[in-house]
Amino acid sequence: MGSGTCSHHGGVAQKGVDQPGLPTDVPLPTDVPLPTANPLPTDVPLPTANPLPTANALPSPTLPSLVPVPASVLLPKAVTPGAVDPRVTQANINSTICQHGYTATVRPSSSYTTRLKREQLATTYSDFADKRTGSYEEDHLISLELGGSPTDPRNLWPEPYAGATGARIKDRLENRLHAMVCARSMDLAEAQRAIASNWWDAYQRYID
């Protein structure tokens, strides 16, 4: 043990003599730049991926277009907007409009409708060239079978019999809407709005 031999270095350690440390006064060279990677060439375009095929677009569903309302069936809303009978409601249709023979109990007299027809042909509907009362039905815009007012002049107008949009054509719509209301497939108020707002459009929706 007194020989002073260092077992793990295999040399002789001298007492009191410091081991030289790593040199700290030698600066790293600064004049040698670090190598940089070669830049990628900029004149070669990068390949682009082929676009994914797009699915064929489904055709948009198209609603059937309505034939514009003929001028002969346009009603001046300020004069003939339609009016309902307050005695008829959704709650009592079984005992009123859906009761067989109901309309006969509320239909106005022909003397009243003929007089009103003459007045209207001379005033609000004076643009109708044919002044013969027999050429027109004094019709209820909201029909009696849909709870329309029987005598309110706002619900009556001289409807021509002639033409593809004549009074007998509208009768078919009235019957269809009446059947739907009484079958509970349409509310009474909905049927009244449909025929009062534009009965020709309603005809094409529910008949054609």
Residue 21, in any domain of the structure? no
**If you search the block for the tokens 């260092």, which residue do you land on?**
6
Burial-class residue 140 by CB neighbours within 10 Å (0-12, 13-18, 19+). buried
**Predicted pLDDT of residue 76:** 85
**Predicted pLDDT of residue 164:** 79
Residue-by-residue DSSP string for the chain: -TT-B-TTT-SBPPTT-PPP----S-PPP-SSPPP-PPPPPSSSPPPPPPPPPPPPPPPPP-PPPPPPPPGGG---TTT----B-TT--GGGGGGTTTSTTHHHHHPPPHHHHHHHHHHHHHTTTTT-S---GGGEEEEESS-GGGTB-SS-GGGEEEEESSSTTSHHHHHHHHHHHHHHHHTTSS-HHHHHHHHHHHHHHHHHHHT-
Residue 60, in any domain of the structure? no
**Predicted pLDDT of residue 24:** 44
Residue 70, in any domain of the structure? no
Structure tokens at 165: 């949009």
| Residue numbers of the domain that contains 118 | 82-206
**Predicted pLDDT of residue 23:** 45
**Predicted pLDDT of residue 66:** 54
Residue 137, in any domain of the structure? yes
Domain count for the chain, please give it: 1
Low-confidence ranges of the chain (pLDDT < 70): 1-74
**Predicted pLDDT of residue 67:** 58
Residue 69, in any domain of the structure? no
Residue 125, in any domain of the structure? yes
